[in-house]
Amino acid sequence: MSIRDELKQEQKRFTRWIGIAALGHVAVVVLSILLQIYWAHTHPPLKVVSVSLVTLPGAPGPAGGPASLPEPEPAPVKEAPEPKAPEPPAPKKVSEPAVTKKTVPVENAKAEKQRLEEALSKLKQKADSRQQSQNIGNALANLQKKVASQGSGGAHGSGTGGGGGLYGPGGGASDPYKSKIADIIQNNWQFSSQLLRSTKGMEVYVAINILPDGTISQIRYDRKAPSEYLNNSVKLALQKSSPLPAIPREYGSRSLWVGFVFTPEGVSQ
């Protein structure tokens, strides 16, 4: 047998093996498809549960279902205005105790106003009698200023008092007693704003209940600051300030609720 014949024979065998291999491949593919169909029949597909890995924990996930979606949405809307206008919500929270307490300063202011007006009329009479118009005019102006300042304080207090505002106007000391205790607390407050990362939103609304003898019986946080350092410093200042001066008789014999706003800038009523 020549080499050429041998090569031809080998080519023939090779061709035959190619055919067998091709058939084998086709058989493997067909078998795998059949096996897959059989597997699909014997093992029905499991229920697919979609889990979103991106959604934040607080937000409603797909597991919660679409029905739960509208519910959480109003919640942030309600919460949103609170940081923007910090003062209005605070009085609302302390409405019940404040209404009863705030009536006392308003009545006191009215009484004081009456007294001042009486004093004014007396002074006018004296001025007429003595005809010292210049001095009387100065005195009248001073008294009017005093009355006006007290009147505006009372007006504001009653305004916020409608909502039960414990926290008076930020500026000005409308009430001598409150101003006095505010000074005491301010002096006892040990706080450094440099220890805060940011002063934004750093406000602590605190209402304290003062017994007639001046003892602070209760401290209530109407709103806390994000910084625990500030919150604790407020608590320490109030504890250190107790007992405060005794409540004047004008406020009555009952305990008094007073509200303070602690900010890194200082204490205000």
Partner 1 sequence: MTENAGTGIFSMLTGSGPVVLFVLGILIIFSVLSWAIIALKFGSVRKSMQESQDFLDSFFDVQNVDRLFASSENFRNGSLPRVFRAGYIEYSSMRDKTAPAQLRERISLAIKREVNAESKRLTHLVPFLATVGNTAPFIGLFGTVWGIMSSFQNIGLMKSASLAAVAPGISEALIATATGLVAAIPAVMGYNYLTQKIGQLERDLEDFGPDFIDAYLNQ
Q: Which residues bind partner 1 (CB under 8 A)?
A: 1, 3, 6, 10, 13-14, 17-18, 20-22, 24-25, 29, 32-33, 36, 40
Q: Which helix (H) or strand (E) segment is 84 a member of?
A: helix 81-84
CB 256, CB 247: distance < 8 Å: yes
The distance of closest approach from Cβ of residue 268 to partner 1 in the complex, given in angstroms and rounded to an integer, is 52
- Nearer to partner 1 by Cβ, of 14 and 221: the residue is 14
- Nearer to partner 1 by Cβ, of 25 and 122: the residue is 25
CB 192, CB 158: distance < 8 Å: no
The distance of closest approach from Cβ of residue 19 to partner 1 in the complex, given in angstroms and rounded to an integer, is 8
SS3 content of the chain, % helix, strand, coil (to 5): 60, 10, 30
The distance of closest approach from Cβ of residue 18 to partner 1 in the complex, given in angstroms and rounded to an integer, is 4
Q: What distance in Å separates the CA atoms of residue 226 and residue 223, rounded to the nearest whole number?
A: 10
Q: What distance in Å separates the CA atoms of residue 234 and residue 191, rounded to the nearest whole number?
A: 8
- Nearer to partner 1 by Cβ, of 34 and 111: the residue is 34
- Nearer to partner 1 by Cβ, of 19 and 88: the residue is 19
- CB proximity list for 123: less than 8 A, separation 6 or greater: 136, 139, 140, 143
- Nearer to partner 1 by Cβ, of 1 and 85: the residue is 1
The distance of closest approach from Cβ of residue 40 to partner 1 in the complex, given in angstroms and rounded to an integer, is 8
The distance of closest approach from Cβ of residue 90 to partner 1 in the complex, given in angstroms and rounded to an integer, is 45
